[in-house]
Amino acid sequence: MLKGFKQFILRGNVVDLAVGVVIGASFGTIVTSLVQDIFTPFISAIFRSPDFSGLLFTINGSNFMYGNFLNALIAFIIVAVVVYFFVVTPINTLVSKTRREKPLDETTKKCPECLSEIPIDAKRCAHCTSVLK
């Protein structure tokens, strides 16, 4: 039983996933700090609010802290942009460069009626039984 658990834990994709989660959490912390320490003061300077994260409104004694929501939204957008431009786009480019079209098989042709592949010397389609010229 422990041998199977050891194999499961040491499997490549489990270790890769664990590393990805740890790096993702660290990256999230860096982005949150970037938003709170750099972007929030910059945006606050533009809108002349001393503390962007402290923006709130009150209804019946309840505080709605939309400044914190805006910080989280900015952090999410930054993470999404980084993931798209530094992960998704390069992977898509790599996949499109490595993917090659299947070479045409010179021993087959397409039936003009049903468009299925048939031997090049066939006189009748095996799928739709139409007579070929």
Taking the domains of the chain in order of start, what are their residue ranges? 13-98, 104-133
Q: What's the pLDDT at 104? A: 57
pLDDT tens per residue across span 118-131: 888 888 898 898 88
CA angle 94–100–101, rounded 5-degree value: 145
Instruction: Give the pLDDT confidence score for residue 49 in this predicted structure.
Output: 63
Q: What is the pLDDT of residue 60?
A: 93
CATH of region 13-98, choose from 3.40.366.10, 3.40.50.2300, 1.10.1200.120, 2.130.10.10: 1.10.1200.120
Backbone dihedral region for residue 130 (phi beyond 0: left; psi -120 to 50: alpha; all else: beta): beta
Question: What pLDDT does residue 58 have?
Answer: 92
Residue 58, beta-bridge partner list: 63
- Which residues of the chain register pLDDT less than 50? none
Q: How high is the pLDDT of residue 106?
A: 79
- Residue 4 pLDDT: 81
Residue of 57, 58, 54 whose CA lies nearest to 41: 54
pLDDT, tens digit, 9 for 90 and up, residues 30-41: 888 887 788 777
**Facing residues of 131 across strands?**
124
Amino acid identity, position 120: I
The predicted pLDDT at position 59 comes to 92
